[in-house]
Amino acid sequence: MGKYILRRLLQQIPIMLGVSILVFSIIQLAPGDPLASYMQNPNMTIAQMEALKEAYGLNASPVQQYFSYMKNALKGEFGYSIQLKQPVSKLIAERLGATFFIAFGSLLISILIAIPVGVISATKQYSFIDYAGTIFALAGISIPIFFFAILMKKWFAIDLRWFPLSGFVSPGKNYVGINMIKDILNHSFLPLIVLGLAGAGSLMRYTRSSMLEVIRQDYVRTARAKGLKERVVIYKHALRNALIPVITLLGFTLPGLFSGAITTEIMFSLPGMGRLQYNAVLHRDYPIMMGTNLFLAIFTLIGNLLADISYAAVDPRIRLD
Amino acid sequence: MENLLEVKDLKTYFYTEDGVVPAVDGVDFELKPGQTLGIVGESGCGKSVTSLSILRLVPNPPGRIVEGEILFEGKDLVQATESEMQHIRGNDIAMIFQEPMTSLNPVFTIGKQIMEAIMLHQNLDKNAAREKCIEMLKLVGIPRAEQAIDEYPHQFSGGMRQRAMIAMALSCNPKLLIADEPTTALDVTIQAQIIELMKDLKDKLNTAIILITHDLGVVAEMCEHVIVMYAGKVVEEADILELYTDPKHPYTVGLMKSKPSLDDNRDRLEVIPGAVPNPLDMPEGCTFHPRCPHAMDICREKQPHLINNEEGRKVRCWLYEKEGEVK
């Protein structure tokens, strides 16, 4: 197992190199550059412009730029944001907490809703709960997040005034300890619900169809023939088998949670990676675009690795070495 | 001796979108403790549904026991509650299934699956259950039982898995073992081994067995009494020797003829012409008449009854029902 993980981690190195080339090329291919906004300044002279380009290293060929970027990146230096004039690593580190909290919190909510509802939908197929779950899933999949977010803000933040409208902490309060946690939970409740419910839909349908297949298997009948209680048959014998494909899906969802939360972060003005990335794209802030994308790539790879490892943990037929 | 099991007029129907399928349509039989009963018939004749009905494991919906009684030690299982059934399943009545490859849960070890039943019904703690499990695995002839207990089903061959299934079924000393085509999915050598094992265990543990099969050779090896089913009904019932030497019902005669034998050198086996009727569109009268070489006018019009003839044999055929005696 340890050997397998080490081998897999080593395999990630060439993949990361490939990803960095791809991301760099895409960014270069996009029209505009970080200095485009300066062009609109009528007092800007061509000489000043050239000096700026020289300073940011934008005059070099893309290949040279890539190599100098990677040389620094390997030393742990991801450059400075052109727009924000701060180190990229510091900008990412500042936003990591909120992003992680929202990502894992909403994933947890998705799982807690989707798996029980999916199991009940499958065991009581065509019942009221099954239909209700299906409608709920359809809504979760098809309602756009920005619209759902606005709706939730309207109901719970404006009409009922239960939760704050936006932000991650109350500005100027500087809470510490338990009060800080309370403040953060209060602010993140709506975004967590929005993302959690949106993710629960497809996960629930997936659990349902996987479970429907499993409860027709011979070994489920064997479990019943042993005299086990229906609860044990379903939640021990059947669910464990039904979760195997669900885990694969979760492995793919994990990285999506970090980037896919962009809309939610913008709607609720959360200080997360998504917003950082969004603003960077608007301003063609190359160092941030590179930094955040590489960061997401690392998470995608870790997510896949985690999925493979937990796959082996649930299914003894899968041997990792 | 008192009957262990009495099935009376059992009717299990499936309510499908296309109509009602009478998979089991009025089946009667009885079984004494320690006795071995064979149920034979073609695929789709209702053998398996009969056995699943006894344990109340018919998938519902679409299947449902609509009529009849299943008296096990005098208690009607059709009326029993789910929790009473859970107490009986695996404990008093155990079952082994046709497909050893898929009947064991792939994500749990063999030992865990067997111990689960032992701990549930015998109130043993984990260590005692493990002891008992190893003992059972040895009893069914699994080599290296101490190691095999911690292995997963995919590490077992088909024959080994069926042995493990038998160990699981017998681990709580059931009074009745239902074996639903236990050897069908196995190759011939393994089949013989499994049959030997079951015969051996039957003598050791004095378990009554219902053996469901379409393999007449297996029936001859194991059973004392046989019922032949066709299209959800019992068409003939007899002791094993009588059935083989003097089959009465034209369907049984056909089955016997279609059995391959080592002594003859025919290129082709005899077959019963036609196929099992579509359960949604059963023929009028005797359900076998379209395939029967002796079909008479009355067979096309009226259902024959299961009659007891002079020698105490039961057969459902107009050939043996004398005019005027029709009930």
**CATH code, domain carrying A234:** 1.10.3720.10
A237 touching B (Cβ < 8 Å): yes
Report chain B residues whose CB lies below 8 A from the CB of A122.
none
Distance between CA B144 and CA B142 in Å, rounded? Answer: 7
Report chain B residues whose CB lies below 8 A from the CB of A239.
none
Pairwise CB contact (< 8 Å): A227 & B168: no
B259 shares its domain with B307: yes
* Closest residue in B to A241 (Cα–Cα): B107
Reported ipTM exceeds the 0.85 cut: no
B62 shares its domain with B173: yes
B134 shares its domain with B206: no
For the CA atoms of B218, B220, B223, B228, the dihedral, rounded to the nearest 10 degrees, stands at: 90
For the stretch A121-146, pLDDT in tens is: 998 888 898 999 899 889 888 888 88
B98 shares its domain with B148: no
The answer to whether residue A61 sits within a structural domain is no
Chain A interface disruption, residue of B105, B120, B165, most A CBs within 10 A: B105
A319 touching B (Cβ < 8 Å): no
B145 shares its domain with B100: no
The answer to whether residue A190 sits within a structural domain is yes
Helix (H), strand (E) counts: chain A:
14, 0
The answer to whether residue B325 sits within a structural domain is no
The answer to whether residue B326 sits within a structural domain is no
- How many domains does chain B contain in total? 2
The answer to whether residue B256 sits within a structural domain is yes
Give the pLDDT mean for A32-52.
80
A315 touching B (Cβ < 8 Å): yes
Check if the beta carbon of residue B166 is closer than 8 Å to that of residue B100: no
B220 shares its domain with B143: no
The answer to whether residue A294 sits within a structural domain is no
> pTM of the predicted model, to two decimals?
0.78
- How many domains does chain A contain in total? 1
Query: Which among A219, A316, A317 has CB closest to B103?
Result: A219
How confident is residue A212, by pLDDT bands cut at 50, 70 and 90? very high
Nearest to A125, CA basis, from A195, A36, A48, A214:
A214
Residue B324: the pLDDT is: 44
The answer to whether residue A108 sits within a structural domain is yes
Chain A interface disruption, residue of B49, B56, B86, B99, most A CBs within 10 A: B86
Range of A144's domain? 94-263
Residues of B with CB under 8 A from a CB of A: 55, 57, 82, 85-91, 94-95, 97, 99, 102-109, 113, 116-117, 120-121, 152, 154, 165, 168
Rg of the Cα trace of chain A?
A: 24
For the stretch A170-202, pLDDT in tens is: 777 777 888 888 888 888 889 899 889 888 888
Distance between CA A305 and CA A10 in Å, rounded? Answer: 12
Pairwise CB contact (< 8 Å): B152 & A222: no
Secondary structure letter of residue A44 according to DSSP: -
The CATH number of the domain where B43 resides is what?
Answer: 3.40.50.300
- Å between B189 CA and nearest CA of chain A: 24
B165 shares its domain with B290: yes
How confident is residue B322, by pLDDT bands cut at 50, 70 and 90? low
Tokens read off for A295: 């960061």
Pairwise CB contact (< 8 Å): B117 & A226: yes
B210 shares its domain with B64: yes
Residue A73: the pLDDT is: 86
Q: What residues contact B186, with CB distance under 8 A and at least 6 apart?
A: B100, B158, B159, B162, B194
Provide the percentage of residues in chain A whose pLDDT is more than 70: 98
Rounded to 5 degrees, what are φ and ψ at A41?
-80, 115
Helix axes A88-123, A286-314, angle to 10 degrees: 40
Rounded to 5 degrees, what are φ and ψ at B266?
-65, 145
B181 shares its domain with B37: yes
The answer to whether residue A163 sits within a structural domain is yes
B231 shares its domain with B125: no
Task: Round the average pLDDT of chain A to a whole number and report it.
Answer: 86
Range of B142's domain? 105-155
B231 shares its domain with B286: yes
B132 shares its domain with B201: no
Pairwise CB contact (< 8 Å): B90 & A222: no
CA distances from A150 to A99, A137, A144, A266 (A): 20, 19, 10, 11
For the stretch A100-114, pLDDT in tens is: 888 889 899 999 999
Give the pLDDT mean for B166-182.
87
Query: Which among B121, B152, B154 has CB closest to A227?
Result: B121
* Closest residue in A to B51 (Cα–Cα): A225
